[in-house]
Amino acid sequence: MEITRSVLDEIVARLLAQGLKAAAEAAPKSDTSNNDPWLVPIGVSNRHIHLSRSDMDALFGPGSNLTRMGALKQPGQYAAEETLVLRGPKGQIAKVRVLGPLRKETQIEISIADGFTLGIKPPMRMSGKLEQSAGVELVGPYGTVKKESGVIVALRHIHMLPSEAERLGLKNGDEVDVVIDGVRGGVMNHVTIRAAEASIPEMHIDVEEANAFGLKNNVLVRIRKV
Ligand SMILES: [Zn+2]
């Protein structure tokens, strides 16, 4: 049988279309060469701990320092090799990652389900707002620290430069909606803009939010003004 040029073209076109359709259905768009200013990549935060100098000393030994394991996207931030056990009234969670550098105040960021496991009820807060937050016990290789407060469920937010925010007609502290594609797609309301110098555009959500919306690191989502 002779395959004419036009039949061949038809076959190639169909295969190409099928391939593109399959690729498009496989996952929401993930692209690092992003030119649309309204698109921002996702960064999923697993449970983690920021430590103060005094808690670092008490948990890992006086004068101890964090060991840098891997850089995070936000400049200067890194995952440390050090981990701790979180111990609550109902249970404990081991191998909780410490993030560096050290901070003024210890802050523990967990998911709502982690709170169930531990038997505590942390409030949903922006980073740094620790008044009346939940307590937990931190167990390290050197010692143990009982925190009366410091545990929060971090509110989702978008990091960007002030100049990028301005380009979108936004400023630090503004709330936006975020539209997500895919089979678990939807709209996230009340997403706070965190505009600061030396930041990389990135939307931070926790593991539960990521799973609920079928999101992974670097998937692009769309900012929508409220
Ligand atoms: Zn963040």
Measure 16 CA to ligand 1 centroid, in angstroms.
40
For the chain, the domains span 28-43+157-225, 47-154
pLDDT of res. 35: 84
Residues with CB under 5 A from ligand 1 (ion): 204
> What is the pLDDT confidence band of residue 24, given thresholds at 50, 70 and 90?
very low
d(CA 220, CA 203): 9
- Which 3 state secondary structure label does DSSP give 196? coil
b/e sequence 107-143, b meaning 16+ C-beta within 10 Å:
bbbbbeebbeebebebbebeeeebeebbebbbbbeee
Q: Taking Cα atoms as reference points, which of 18, 93, 99, 102 lies closest to residue 55?
A: 102
CATH pick for 28-43+157-225 out of 2.40.40.20, 3.40.50.2300, 2.40.50.140, 3.40.630.40: 2.40.40.20
Measure 204 CA to ligand 1 centroid, in angstroms.
5
Model pLDDT for residues 150-178, shown as the tens digit of each residue: 999 999 999 999 999 999 999 999 999 99
Model pLDDT for residues 86-135, shown as the tens digit of each residue: 999 999 999 999 999 999 999 999 999 999 999 999 999 999 999 999 99
Measure 203 CA to ligand 1 centroid, in angstroms.
7
pLDDT of res. 4: 62
Note the pTM of the prediction, 2 decimals. Answer: 0.84
d(CA 207, CA 226): 25
pLDDT of res. 151: 98
> What is the pLDDT confidence band of residue 11, given thresholds at 50, 70 and 90?
low
pLDDT of res. 85: 98
Position 13 pLDDT exceeds 80: no
Measure 80 CA to ligand 1 centroid, in angstroms.
17
Q: Taking Cα atoms as reference points, which of 196, 164, 225 lies closest to residue 36?
A: 164
> What is the dihedral sign for C-alpha 146, 150, 153, 159?
negative
Lowest-confidence range among 11-15, 73-77, 125-129?
A: 11-15
